[in-house]
Amino acid sequence: MASPSTDLHFVLLPLMAQGHMIPMVDIARILAQTGTTVTIITTPVNANRFKSVIDRAIEAELNIQMLELQFPFAESGLPEGCETFDLLPSAAHVVNMLKAMKMFEEPFERMLQVLCPPPSCIISDGAFPWTADVAKRLNIPRLVFYGPGCFPFLCIHILNKTNILDEIKSNSEYFALPDLPDHIEVTKPQASGWGKGNRKETKEVFEQTQEAEKATFGIVVNSFEELEPIYVEAFAKAKDTKVWCIGPVSLCNKSFQDLAERGNKAEHDCMKWLDSREVKSVVYVCLGSLSHASTEQAIELALGLELSGIPFIWFIRQTREDFEKWLLEERYEERIKDRGLMVRGWAPQILILSHQAIGGFITHCGWNSTLEGICAGIPMVTWPHFAEQFLNERFIIDVLKIGVKIGAEVPITFIEKDTLEVMVKRKDIRTAVEVLMNEQEEGEARRMRAREVGEMAKKAMEEGGSSYLNIKLMIQAIAEEVAKKNKPIEDIV
């Protein structure tokens, strides 16, 4: 990427969760490609996960580094090594993680005070509202990064502004979200699973985040203007601040190694299996790094995929002993070996989605996965679990019209995920897969829309594209702000 003339130093502080770390590392590399200096600050376990990617960026002569903040295990009550949300021993430990995150303020500021060159700007995950105070003390601008796109953020803003949820008594009836360009219906639990949440600790973080946002210089969004033009404009107006859409940031990954190791290393050579399949014939199944289905739900998914008769590749990040026992007793993998493949571990998702054999994607509707499906031009079966995923589902189904709803209605929160019964039945899974992959008029129209959106995504990141230009405009705005802050008082007067 061509470089604007700048001596800027961006410091990035990502949340310790794969869905936040991955795009922030991509943003760091995109910024470094413009010629700016970039420092990512995170904990040792998270730094180790991205070491190879950063090392390759340094070898490519990008001015980028990763510094480590020691994790306060003893003080926060977490076992050693649990430095990221996907490594927490139980959902109850989320509170401990939030406690640990508050303890980073002082060591983070100390680290910034000795950086050379001095930091020009902080890009902070929204979950660290105290970075607003650090930025104020150091007299540098702070940009905030949250993760999802503008559509779910506008929905949350409207919900909090109107207090409509206080008027809704039923947890199962759908209601229309007010003041949106599209007709969007959700249930109360689906709408309230993100933002404030239902716990004292999450409400506290949300309120602090909203307060910190008032002082922010702008918001960085992993999206692109052509994807949600009305929502980008409405979101910026609602927040009364600059919003820079600079994505899809995953498209900065060009080399095979960067694609294969994005987020973690995949140990399975699934690409050879895909090479043997027909074009657009396979459904890719992956429900995210924090989604842990119950054994009963995993069995329903297994049987639903089998019943569909459609080839599939299914990545399971973690499996339970009783599910593995069921697979063995039922000889499931032997039964499906001619057209199905189960893989345990991390999925090289971008590589898989871009393979010519993939024709559909069963996704949990996390924003990274949603965008990666969009970039690949692949229609999706939507299976949201928690957070803003139900809002992302509505975006895929009602706004983009490139998805098929599987029928998940009730959010499975991170806290409750081990206790709930089967939420989606095998027949619904089978139906959704068959509808997605059918070659009739409706299915073909869905695939065509998905391809068109995928092409728009690529163009946004290319030279002259909207996100390409927004990156430059964002850097220019920061450069001007830094120059203004550093100007002698007599020059300003």
Give the pLDDT confidence of 75-124 residue by residue, as tens digits.
999 999 999 988 888 878 888 999 999 999 999 999 999 999 999 999 99
**H helix or E strand, kind and range, residue 315:** strand 312-316
Please state the rounded mean pLDDT for residues 246-253: 95
Place of tokens 């009364």: 240
Q: How far is CA 320 from the centre of its chain?
A: 25
Please state the rounded mean pLDDT for residues 280-300: 85
Rounded to whole angstroms, how far apart are CA atoms 184 and 394?
7
Is residue 418 within 8 Å of residue 92, measured between CB atoms?
no
State the pLDDT at residue 284.
97
State the pLDDT at residue 276.
94
Is residue 368 within 8 Å of residue 22, measured between CB atoms?
yes
Q: Provide the H-helix boundaries in 256-294.
A: 256-260, 271-275
3-state secondary structure of 375: helix
Rounded to whole angstroms, how far apart are CA atoms 107 and 401?
46
State the pLDDT at residue 2.
46
Question: Percent of the chain beyond pLDDT 90?
Answer: 73
Residue 203 pLDDT exceeds 50: yes
State the pLDDT at residue 206.
78
* DSSP-assigned letter for residue 364: -
Question: Percent of the chain beyond pLDDT 70?
Answer: 90
- CB-CB neighbours of 322 under 10 Å: 13
Q: Provide the H-helix boundaries in 271-417.
A: 271-275, 295-308, 321-329, 332-335, 349-353, 367-376, 389-394
3-state secondary structure of 481: helix
Please state the rounded mean pLDDT for residues 254-278: 74
Residue 43 pLDDT exceeds 90: yes
The region of weakest confidence among 340-354, 375-389, 424-438, 455-469 is 340-354
Please state the rounded mean pLDDT for residues 158-185: 91
Q: Which one is predicted more confidently, 138 or 207?
A: 138
Please state the rounded mean pLDDT for residues 9-32: 96
Q: Which one is predicted more confidently, 5 or 104?
A: 104
State the pLDDT at residue 42.
98
Tens digits of residue pLDDT in 391-449? 999 999 999 999 999 999 988 765 555 555 668 999 999 999 999 999 889 999 999 99
Q: Which one is predicted more confidently, 481 or 255?
A: 481
Is residue 360 within 8 Å of residue 436, measured between CB atoms?
yes
Please state the rounded mean pLDDT for residues 128-136: 97
Domains of the chain: 9-246+462-492 (3.40.50.2000), 264-457 (3.40.50.2000)
Burial-class residue 331 by CB neighbours within 10 Å (0-12, 13-18, 19+). exposed
Please state the rounded mean pLDDT for residues 56-80: 95
> Where residue 4 falls among pLDDT bands split at 50, 70, 90?
very low
Tokens of 150: 């503008």
State the pLDDT at residue 113.
97
Rounded to whole angstroms, how far apart are CA atoms 282 and 360?
7
Return mean pLDDT, the chain: 90
Tens digits of residue pLDDT in 289-298? 656 678 888 9
Rounded to whole angstroms, how far apart are CA atoms 361 and 283?
6
Q: Provide the H-helix boundaries in 359-425.
A: 367-376, 389-394
State the pLDDT at residue 493.
37
Is residue 332 within 8 Å of residue 302, measured between CB atoms?
yes
> Where residue 216 falls among pLDDT bands split at 50, 70, 90?
very high
State the pLDDT at residue 420.
55
Tallying the residues shown for the chain, one arrives at 493
